[in-house]
Amino acid sequence: MSQYTKKHTENAFDYFRKHALSVAISAFSTTVAGIRDGLQRGVYVALIAGQVVSPVVWAANLPELAGSQTSVTIDNGASIDGIDSDKSAVYNVSGNRVLANWTSFDIANGYGVQFVQGSASSILVNQITGSASEIAGLLKANGNIILVNPNGMTIAGTAVIDVNSLVVSAMGLSTEVGGDSQAFFNSDTEAENYNNLLLVKTDADGKITIESGVKFTVDAEGTAHTRNNKFIAIGAEVENSADIVVGKLIGLGAGGSGFLSFDQDGLVGFEISSDVVSENALKSLGDLTATNGTVLLSANASNATINSALNIEGTVQAAAINIDADKITLGDIDSTEIHGVELNASESLNLDQLTSVRVAHNADYSLKGKAVSLSAGYSDVTTQVLNPKEIIANGSVVRLSDNGDLPETIGNLKFQDVSSVSLIGGSVSADSDANLIAASELVLENSIETNGISFSGVSSVVLNSNTLTGTSGVDTFDVTGANALTSAGIDFTNVASVNAGDGDDQVNTNGAALVSQADVAGTVAVDNALLTQQIAFTAVENLDLANGTLTGSDAADSFEVTGTTLTANAINVTDAASAIDAGTGDDAVTVNDANSTLTGTDNALNTAAYQLTSIET
């Protein structure tokens, strides 16, 4: 998903010229060389003005060309899918990228319009200068159809959409670059924005309305993999009430400006590059299904008086769901009945811009994804042992009352069926028995795993007295206070125990006192185990005391001294204070150098670097 930008409209063209294609949908890519090769071979044609063919007079039920072009001609006697010829309009479109101008574009119920294009990658941009359009009949095409009407457009509930890809826009073609001279249409190999069609909101404040009942035709197999691959609706306002099923991409976007992106295979995606100017400017009220692809909902509000830019109701299903919106409302605001909102992503659910969520009265919501990406505004994550694949993101979540007020903070967004979570400087809280493991065979900074969920981008973890387990690689633990430590770039609090795991692990106490741990019976010291600042460590190989004190356990401890080197219960100790109390128990010291002498004090031993007391053996 492309990054959200706040460029002024007047700077949009310069922005796009300075940046080669920034694809709005990350799942797709663009081959620039292929496009330029196509341009050099003359694949794309420009319109030839002043060419006239026999005029065709239509009732208001069918579109009317503003001026005839050689690249768009009409087949007068054709019929479409059983629609009578007097209610049919079949247009033959020559050229891969063509602009057609219309005085009106309306298709009444029972009427049909078909565009016959060169291939599925062919693009026809229809610029409509008249009043708002209504499509209530059949729209058919084998390529990419773009309908641009700044006065708005309605796709009525009786409409049938049977195209390769369809874009409806209530933003007009950029006035900075004339419609027929945008680099998108030109064969200028030096133009850097030939693969972008620039769109801006006009004074008309056009709105796209898609009514319930619209039929998006699918293939006999019941999927949309060759017809209705992509559907995009963008404008100052967009309201969809239809259940939409396509193959690859559903995109709904509201704002003041944006662009469509293309490559040699046709339509790629879109980006909205300025904010909405009204509450809930984008409404997705029907079920959206992208069978093999992505659903992108894009609307942001920088105006503090706008509490919600995007309103979602119904079910959204796709491999990837990208919500490029900062303020969203879940559920039907005006409904008093119980209704559901479900986002179900088989692969990834991205909420990177999200800062606040409002939940409508009686809304029941569920957000599911194999991988979830959360914004900084939703950084607190709780793992629950009762449902190890559910995480809860705490944040600014409120429920609307019957009258639309916001009286109640309702707690948590729920994510189910999660295997990985990406946070931006977020924190994680682990409930009872939800032990955490430093992620991967190698220690990854700001990464942990718990209950089958891998977290990245983590800055802090509240362990709630659970165990932290290191990796099989080299882990480092810096003790910072009572029940607190830092490891892998993460600040851990409320730590009860740490199992350092395999590898040559290191504990740094920063001067804190340590006590060796004994076994359950309390008779023998446990190798590679110690206790400091109320944290119990096991499987430790290396210890930096930073001149802190080391105290043996009440069991039998083993100390081995070689010059200035000290090993205690199989832990290599560095920077230890000279005074070491072996503790109670039948402790043993092995001295591997000739510079050690016994003092006159019972159970005391002086070596070159240490004075050990409470020694028995």
Q: Rounded to the nearest 5 degrees, what angle is found at the Cα of 254, between the Cα atoms of 61 and 350?
A: 125
What is the average pLDDT score of the chain?
A: 78
Query: By the 8 A CB rule, do 294 and 316 touch?
Result: no
Query: Is residue 437 over pLDDT 90?
Result: no
- Give me the pLDDT at residue 601, please: 67
List, in sequence order, every beta strand (DSSP E) within 431-582.
436-438, 448-450, 453-462, 467-469, 476-481, 484-487, 490-493, 497-499, 506-508, 514-518, 525-532, 535-538, 542-544, 550-551, 558-562, 565-568, 571-574, 579-581
| Nearest alpha-carbon partner for 397 in 384, 387, 406, 385 | 406
How high is the pLDDT of residue 91? Answer: 92
Is pLDDT at 492 greater than 50 in this prediction? yes
Least confident segment among 185-199, 289-303, 346-360:
185-199
How is 418-431 classified by DSSP, letter by letter?
-SEEEEEEEEEEE-
Model confidence over 247-259: pLDDT tens digits? 899 999 999 999 8
pLDDT (tens digit, 9 = 90+) per residue, 39-87? Answer: 222 222 222 222 222 333 444 578 887 776 778 888 877 788 778 888 9
Contact between 386 and 337 under an 8 Å Cβ cutoff? The reply is no
Which tens digits make up the pLDDT trace of 308-345?
999 999 999 999 999 999 999 888 777 667 678 899 99
pLDDT at 56: 38
Asked whether residue 275 carries a pLDDT value surpassing 60, the answer given is yes
**pLDDT per residue over 127-179, tens digit each?**
998 899 999 999 999 999 999 999 999 999 999 999 999 999 999 987 654 44
Phi, psi of 374 (to 5 degrees): -115, 145
Q: How high is the pLDDT of residue 27?
A: 26
Answer for the pair 223, 234: CB distance below 8 angstroms, yes or no. Answer: no
What pLDDT is attached to residue 35? Answer: 24
Higher pLDDT: 217 or 90? It is 90
How far, in Å, CA of 221 to CA of 269, rounded?
Answer: 25
Give the pTM.
0.79
d(CA 225, CA 216): 12
- Which range among 101-115, 387-401, 558-572 has the greatest average pLDDT? 101-115
Highest average pLDDT, of 11-15, 390-394, 459-463, 604-608, comes from 459-463
Asked if 132 and 106 touch (Cβ cutoff 8 Å), the reply is: no
Per-residue pLDDT at 233: 97
pLDDT at 529: 82
